[in-house]
Amino acid sequence: MIRQNHGRPIGHGTDAFWCWISALLMVVLLGTVSDAASPVPADELIQRAVDAYQAGMDSQDRSVRLQQFQIAESLFQQATAEVNRSPSLWVNLGNAALQAEDFGQAVVAYRRALSLEPAHQQAQANLNYVRSLMPKWLQYEPSNQLLRTILFWQYSFSPATLQLISALMFLVTALLVAASFRWSQPLLRMLAIVPAVVWMVLFVSGWAVRWAPARPEAVVMIRESVARSADSLTSTARFAEALPSGTEVAILERREDWVRIEVADQQTAWLPSSAVEEVP
């Protein structure tokens, strides 16, 4: 047994008492630090964001309004880190960003909402409004427009909804075929053709959309981003005016800290990677 200099074993008498007290204090302190560092629940963040948004709406002072909307935007953004599959939450973030005049974040939020729920009317309407604020030569047009027109259902329903419909059609087909053999009813086999065709169309169209060539897209997040003619800060400006926040671009190439982008009118330029955020 290890002994102290005065010859008394550790773990007896007052030494043991103070060891236990020290350990208890350490546990309490660690628990306090852990509680302080724990993230705020998403529902609390959302409620605080809603309160800040309402305060902004109620204020007549422009600076106060912007400040409250910026607070709401920040809180909604924190909430999406915990609940990132809610279209409504992304729309709320987009609305707060729009009121705060942060058009880049607004576009990103609306597009993320539409990636989860393509038929979300408010997200689409607000996104169209932000796009209308852009200069004409920068107004976004969706890629694969022909494919979007022909296979419209693939862009009108969420992937989860399409998968559910496809699974149901497959199940109905299997049940009808099984029943037709069980009770010798050729009519049931004929009826099975309808859900089978629907299932096949959904399967093939989903495959076509998934494998269709599509360029990555991004949104300019910096309020005024100077697009360059090359991947260098010393190169000349590519356009007469800076790209405003909220500009949607296609990414053509990545090179270290730069991306080569294409704007709506098909002109190309270079931007720092930090100036854009990729979107679905």
Domain boundary assignment for the chain: 1-35, 42-133, 152-211, 217-279
What is the chain's mean pLDDT, rounded? 85
- Residue 13 backbone class (left: φ over 0; alpha: ψ -120 to 50; beta: rest): left
Q: Is the pLDDT of residue 12 over 90?
A: no
The better pLDDT of the pair 208, 258 is held by: 258
Q: What is the pTM of this model?
A: 0.73
Q: Note the pLDDT tens digit of each residue in 38-96.
A: 478 989 999 999 999 999 999 999 999 999 999 999 999 999 998 888 999 999 999 99
Give the type of residue at 129. Answer: Y
Within the chain, residue ranges assigned H as helices are 13-37, 42-58, 62-80, 87-99, 103-116, 121-132, 145-150, 159-182, 186-211
The better pLDDT of the pair 161, 197 is held by: 197
Query: What is the CATH topology of the domain spanning 217-279?
Result: SH3 type barrels. (2.30.30)
The token pair that represents 28 in the structure block: 């309490």
CATH 1.25.40.10 fits 42-133, yes or no: yes
Contact 127, 111 (CB under 8 A): yes
Q: How confident is the model at residue 183 (pLDDT cuts 50, 70, 90)?
A: confident
Cα 24 to Cα 204: distance, rounded to the nearest angstrom: 64
Q: Is the pLDDT of residue 18 over 90?
A: no
Give the mean pLDDT of 189-200.
Answer: 90
Give the mean pLDDT of 259-264.
Answer: 96
Contacts of 256 (CB under 8 A, 6+ apart): 231
Give the mean pLDDT of 172-182.
Answer: 90
pLDDT for residue 213: 60
Contact 133, 139 (CB under 8 A): no
Q: Is the pLDDT of residue 235 over 50?
A: yes
pLDDT for residue 215: 81
| Best CA proximity match to 154, nearest among 196, 201, 218, 197 | 201
CA 138 to chain centre: 23
Give the mean pLDDT of 184-208.
Answer: 87
pLDDT for residue 160: 80
Element (H, E) at 279: strand 276-279
CATH topology identical between 42-133 and 217-279: no
Q: How confident is the model at residue 211 (pLDDT cuts 50, 70, 90)?
A: confident
Percentage of the chain with pLDDT > 90? 60
Q: Note the pLDDT tens digit of each residue in 89-133.
A: 999 999 999 999 999 999 999 999 999 988 899 999 999 999 999
Q: How confident is the model at residue 182 (pLDDT cuts 50, 70, 90)?
A: confident
Q: How confident is the model at residue 212 (pLDDT cuts 50, 70, 90)?
A: low
> What one-character-per-residue DSSP string does 160-227 give?
HHHHHHHHHHHHHHHHHHHHHHHTT-HHHHHHHHHHHHHHHHHHHHHHHHHHS----EEEE-SSEE--
Contact 126, 94 (CB under 8 A): yes
Question: What are the phi and psi torsion angles at 262 (to 5°)?
Answer: -125, 130
Q: Note the pLDDT tens digit of each residue in 222-232.
A: 999 999 999 99
Q: Is the pLDDT of residue 268 over 60?
A: yes
Q: Is the pLDDT of residue 153 over 80?
A: no
Give the type of residue at 79. Answer: A
Contact 63, 20 (CB under 8 A): no
| Best CA proximity match to 219, nearest among 155, 159, 271 | 271
